[in-house]
Amino acid sequence: MRRFLPFLLLLPAAAPPPKRIVSLHLCADQYLLALADRGQIAGLTRFARDPAMSPAAEQAKRWPVTRASAEELLALDPDLAIVSPGRRFLKPPRRVLELPDAHSYPEIVAQTRRVAHAIGHPERGEALIRQMDAALARVARPGRGRVAAEYQRRGFLTGEGTLIDDLMRRVGLNNLARRLGRSPLAQVPIEAIVAARPDFLLVEEGETVVDQGTAMRAHPALGGIPRLALPRASMTCGGPGYVLAAAGLARQLAQNRALTPP
């Protein structure tokens, strides 16, 4: 046994958990709020406290936010920054974790584990995954195969391989874009939507017509299609907010609460 001791001593020690973490990624805010120690979070994104952008906005009020300027980052001196892929720095933090967008619930699970490991709390990541799994297991599938479409501003239709597509399938809806054979984001004329006659349009909660891009969705030709509304915060990112979005969408379908357009 002794002859192996020198080799064991050469093994690198595990890196200590980061003490000062800065999120420069809206989706990473949710993970840090759910997984990190209070003292570990040195800064969240400036959108973290905006209820229109983050489902954890109320919780985020207890933490500092940053506009991610070079001066702020130098002052914060994080030992870990969680960022979008391709982010560049004048002076990079000691450690950088790139977090690509999640396009499905399995990708959210993988991200949860990745962030939890990076911040030194893998057991919390597994606990959060169990909570999300249990919550999603309680989400019904009241869509019953009906067809829905997320028809975005300027006539873009959300297609296969997106988080919205995954969310639709989660509650038993069929995505119109799949039926039309469209790419993940394709521009589709109003005439094609009307001809396809989806059962629902998926829209942002409280949506109003503010410009020519959003005016397309208020076109009279689409007036007879009921709307399913989700908070923008639930549609922006993956993370724990996905569970809230799935439950909210299923609840609207089960209670027949689709909105009649004006």
Residue 107, Cβ density class (10 Å: 0-12 exposed, 13-18 middle, ≥19 buried):
middle
**What's the pLDDT at 1?**
41
**What's the pLDDT at 204?**
84
Give residue-wise pLDDT tens across range 117-142: 999 999 999 999 999 999 999 999 99
**What's the pLDDT at 9?**
39
Q: Is the pLDDT of residue 232 over 60?
A: yes
Please name the amino acid found at residue 75.
A
More confident residue, 100 or 235: 100
**What's the pLDDT at 70?**
86
* Whether the Cβ atoms of residue 105 and residue 242 lie closer than 8 Å to each other: yes
Tokens describing residue 200: 């629902």
Q: What are phi and psi of 260, to 5 degrees?
A: -85, 125
* Whether the Cβ atoms of residue 168 and residue 202 lie closer than 8 Å to each other: yes
In whole angstroms, what is the distance from residue 225 CA to residue 258 CA?
9
Mean pLDDT of the chain: 86
In whole angstroms, what is the distance from residue 123 CA to residue 213 CA?
45
In whole angstroms, what is the distance from residue 150 CA to residue 153 CA?
10
**What's the pLDDT at 200?**
95
Residue 181, Cβ density class (10 Å: 0-12 exposed, 13-18 middle, ≥19 buried):
exposed
